[in-house]
Amino acid sequence: MTDAPAIKCADVGVAMGLAGTEITKQAADLVLLDDNFSTIVSAVEEGRHVFDNILKFIVYLLSCNGAEIFLMLICAVVNLDTPLTVMMILYANIIGKKKKYILCKKTKI
């Protein structure tokens, strides 16, 4: 008897890499290579860190470029020429990132 149908129906099917059958491994979404369930805990923690970093990056981009986005949106709605060219925006972002990098390097965050 195999667990493959149950693993296939689960939201996230987990199979053992060493002790599991080939059918179960093929049906699973996640195969544990070392047969240790603590691997799932560390993988979930790592995934949460990645998700948090993505959210921080999105908030950073929106907060830094919010005025540019708002200005371009208003110009598009009112049908005016855009006051900032693409090169101006890129230059401002590069200079801003260099200053942030220098400040972070000095404070050793």
70 assigned to some structural domain: yes
The answer to whether residue 2 is domain-embedded is no
pTM for this model (two decimals): 0.56
Q: Which domain holds residue 49?
A: 38-107
- Is 13 within 8 Å of 32 (Cβ atoms)? no
109 — pLDDT class (breaks 50, 70, 90): very low
Per-residue pLDDT tens digits for 30-89: 788 888 888 888 888 998 999 998 998 888 778 878 888 898 899 999 999 888 888 888
Is residue 84 a part of any domain in this protein?
yes
The span from the CA of 103 to the CA of 79, in Å, is: 39
User: Is the Cβ–Cβ distance between 22 and 31 less than 8 Å?
Assistant: no
